Amino acid sequence: MRDFLQLVQGVIVFLRNSFKRCAIVKNVAQSLQSTQTHIRPLCPTRFTVKYRALSGLLSQLEVVLQALDEIAAEASGNTIRSTASGFLKRLVEFDVVFCFVVSVKLFEVTDRLSTALQSNAMTAGRGVDLVNEAVALP
């Protein structure tokens, strides 16, 4: 899971760190009639945003794959082309797709739990109950 999250973080940073690559993602998303035309950041230290970022990226996987393919084919620099090509190959491997599905389900529960635990009205007893409920989910 750690390696998967590092891969996802790498893909997100790669796509978001260039206006040109952001524009490619947006154009591909619009051509595929995707409702989300940008890539959400994945904050490595905030647990309450992982679910939205991962589920958004999973729903945009076709957009990301096509954008990476376009970048790999058209980028002027060898480093950018090889990075895009490497991400493209890695994102379609079974273990990555499996981790996507598992992590979205896992972080949906943990993000909700973390948000609830940070509430001003949260009591210690209710917090323990929420954690026990989260652990007991199938």
pLDDT > 70: what percent of the chain? 95
Say how many domains are in the chain.
Answer: 1
pLDDT of residue 133: 87
E strand or H helix at 52:
helix 50-59
DSSP letters of 52-109? HHHHHHHHTHHHHHHHHHHHHHH-SSHHHHHHHHHHHHHHTSHHHHHHHHHHHHHHHH
Specify the higher pLDDT residue, 43 or 101.
101
Contact 24, 71 (CB under 8 A): yes
Residue 125, pLDDT > 90, answer: yes
Is 63 part of any domain? Answer: yes
7-64 residue pLDDT tens: 999 999 999 999 999 999 999 999 999 888 888 887 766 666 688 888 888 889 999 9
State if pTM tops 0.85.
Answer: no
- Domain of residue 38 covers 2-104
The amino acid that residue 104 corresponds to is: V
Is 22 part of any domain? Answer: yes
Is 59 part of any domain? Answer: yes
Contact 116, 130 (CB under 8 A): yes
Is 84 part of any domain? Answer: yes
| Angle, helix 2-16 to helix 50-59, in steps of 10 degrees | 70
Is 113 part of any domain? Answer: no
Specify the higher pLDDT residue, 67 or 138.
67
